[in-house]
Chains A and B, each alone.
Chain A
Amino acid sequence: MRNPWTRTGNYKTSYAQDTTIFATYSEQASLAVFLIGMLVLPRFLVRGDMQILDLILIYALAVLGLNIITGYAGLINIGHAAFMGVGAYTAALVAPHLPFWAVLPVSGLVAAAAGAVVGIPALRIKHLYLAIATLAFQLIFEWAVGHSPALEQGGAMAMPRGMVFFGYKIAFKNHHYFWYYVSFTVLVLMAFGFRNLLRTRFGRSLVAVRDNDRAADAMGMDPGKTKVFAFALGAFYAGVAGALYAYWSRAVVIEDYSLMISIKFLAMAIVGGLGTLVGSFLGPAFLELLDINMETFSYAIKEIYNPPGVDVGSAIRPLAFGLAIVLFLIFEPRGLANWWRLLRSYFRNWPFKY
């Protein structure tokens, strides 16, 4: 007898069935519970919490883009914040003329175009050399913005305020709540989009050029085109994240898209688990929550131990960030996603193990 609730005894009888993502009722149910939980979560949180939650969602979208480029296609990218910046500055320029739901894809597409251009060196160079090329893009981006009067030379470019969405006015009080729902919807849709791509030729070809681009070539994939596609797709995700960030922070400032942020994204991708979808959410959540908790912790430290001339409090945050990355690299290089995988595989055959 077929039992649709568990994997045990749930035999697939067609190839179409074998392509499903959430194969059992219990998996579908837990997804539904999780999504509903995320939708009602803001009811129980205050404005300050929402701000952090929004940031995690937006960073998760950006890190998903980085995972597409670096995790799935294996192309090291240390200029990801610049892609996000391209999206954010596009948003700042077009937001006065377009509604926000049109600004997001436009920002994504402009960033994707930038990504494709940055991807062109990937036709020729690999590994560390490509990483340097992406670093060059980051520096070019920062320099170009810093020298463009049209972009306030990196200073604050204000985003439109007091938007009205279907009669719902977005003001100071509900700002973070509104952008939570927008970010969450966008993240879920784009994550599902990528998860679908993964079970088609587009996603598979990314993994193929990562694992062996010679063999990919012999199997009929153009490795060059695939790499450019990977950069364009990843940059699209970053661009949309950049536009969301711009709306969320109400202004576009160059510091939010600097090299430091690019490194932070790489750290998030590694801590989450490179080349995993779930890692793109776990990494940003873990590091952002760690950062916030360390900030609280640093106030407590200052109370107890505060020698003159040394700012112990503000040293705690970068220290914790660095320590977390080092510990992950040593003890769990596959990231938090690996814990998630172990947890799932434990429950896969539960309660009937045979």
Chain B
Amino acid sequence: MAQLSVENVTLSFGGINALNSVDIVVEPGELVSIIGPNGAGKTSLLNCISGFYHPTHGQITFEGNDLTKASPHTISGYGIARAFQNIELFGGVSVLENLMLARHTYLKYSIGAASVFYGAARRGEVENRRVVEDVIDFMELEPYRKALVGNLPYGVRKRVEVARALSLEPKLLLLDEPMAGMTLEEKEDMVRFILDILAERYTTVILIEHDLGIVMDISDRVYVLDFGMVIATGKPEDVAENPAVIEAYVGGAG
């Protein structure tokens, strides 16, 4: 059974359909990319999966849980984490605290224990710090551990954004343009991180990306959206030769 299935999802704002009968299936361990021109509905689809938007019609299920009407914090509890397109970090605190914030649902101690910072609270903090340190190590963020996020350069903040999503220890990771505006070296690093996430952390990844070279290189499957509709799907090499995709990207012959 598919890990994530988006069935016949339509999302309309007033009279405009941002998504129109979209069907997407993702199997565990896959890297699925969603591409399409600007305004095609890629981020809207991610917003539907992560609960920021609720589809007007259709259904989204993840490992047997219905996500259609669920709120973002419920959905993150099911094991879906998300990195935002426009960096949405907690700017006033350190990298470490940003990542610890992603451990929120794993920390169960009471407010009494927390106010004296003893017993369960201290243990919980230390145990989860260990998980976060693994992620810091994995994303190579050691030099920035105690740095204020608001003061970090763009490329590093993008990495912190992915690291924070990883700190949730998700089963499915949604990456919304993690390489936008990066230099070639930074893009190569990010690709390496994504491949490592798949290989070492056994996490399914849905990737939105505009750099088609990267998408075609690393994806298992690709969905192409245009005007809120899936116009093509399949292996990268098949999608690249699909006439509908070529038309969406470079325009028709006439």
Which A positions have Cβ atoms within 8 angstroms of B? 14-16, 18-19, 193-194, 196-197, 199-205, 207-208, 210-212, 214-223, 275
Are A19 and B126 within 8 A (Cβ)? Answer: yes
Kindly specify which of B56-64, B100-108, B204-212 makes contact with the partner chain. Answer: B100-108
Q: Which residues of B contact A194 (CB under 8 A)?
A: 115
Are A218 and B126 within 8 A (Cβ)? Answer: no
Q: Does B68 contact A (CB under 8 A)?
A: no
Q: When A and B form their complex, which 8 residue pairs have the shortest distance between CB atoms, in order from nearest?
A: A200-B114, A220-B105, A211-B90, A196-B117, A217-B72, A193-B115, A220-B76, A215-B88
Interface string of B95-132 (1 = CB under 8 A from A): 00100111111010101001111000110111001100
Q: Does B38 contact A (CB under 8 A)?
A: no
Once the chains are docked, how many angstroms separate the CA of A18 from the CA of B81? 27
Are B115 and A219 within 8 A (Cβ)? Answer: no
Interface residues of A, dominant DSSP: helix
> Please, which residue of chain A has its CB at the minimum distance from the CB of B122?
A16
Are B93 and A211 within 8 A (Cβ)? Answer: yes
What's the least CB distance linking A160 to chain B, in Å? 30
Knowing A205-B101, A205-B104, the reply to whether A219 touches B76 (Cβ < 8 A) is yes
Tally B residues with Cβ within 8 Å of A: 41
Which B positions have Cβ atoms within 8 angstroms of A? 50-52, 71-73, 76-77, 81-82, 84, 88-93, 97, 100-105, 107, 109, 111, 114-117, 121-122, 124-126, 129-130, 133, 164, 168
Are B114 and A202 within 8 A (Cβ)? Answer: yes
Q: Which residues of A contact B71 (CB under 8 A)?
A: 217, 222
Are B109 and A219 within 8 A (Cβ)? Answer: no
Knowing A197-B114, A221-B73, the reply to whether A15 touches B129 (Cβ < 8 A) is yes
Interface residues of B, dominant DSSP: helix
Q: Which residues of B contact A208 (CB under 8 A)?
A: 90, 101, 104
Knowing A200-B121, A204-B104, A217-B71, the reply to whether A15 touches B76 (Cβ < 8 A) is no
Knowing A200-B109, A208-B101, A216-B101, the reply to whether A15 touches B92 (Cβ < 8 A) is no
What's the least CB distance linking A303 to chain B, in Å? 49
What's the least CB distance linking B246 to chain A, in Å? 35
Are B82 and A218 within 8 A (Cβ)? Answer: yes
What's the least CB distance linking B96 to chain A, in Å? 9
Give the interface centre of B73, B81, B91 by most chain A CB atoms within 10 Å: B73
Knowing A19-B117, A210-B92, A218-B50, the reply to whether A201 touches B72 (Cβ < 8 A) is no
Q: Which residues of A contact B117 (CB under 8 A)?
A: 19, 196, 199-200
> Please, which residue of chain B has its CB at the minimum distance from the CB of A194?
B115
Knowing A207-B92, A220-B104, the reply to whether A15 touches B114 (Cβ < 8 A) is no
What's the least CB distance linking B157 to chain A, in Å? 12
Q: Which residues of A contact B100 (CB under 8 A)?
A: 204
Give the interface centre of B71, B117, B129, B164 by most chain A CB atoms within 10 Å: B117
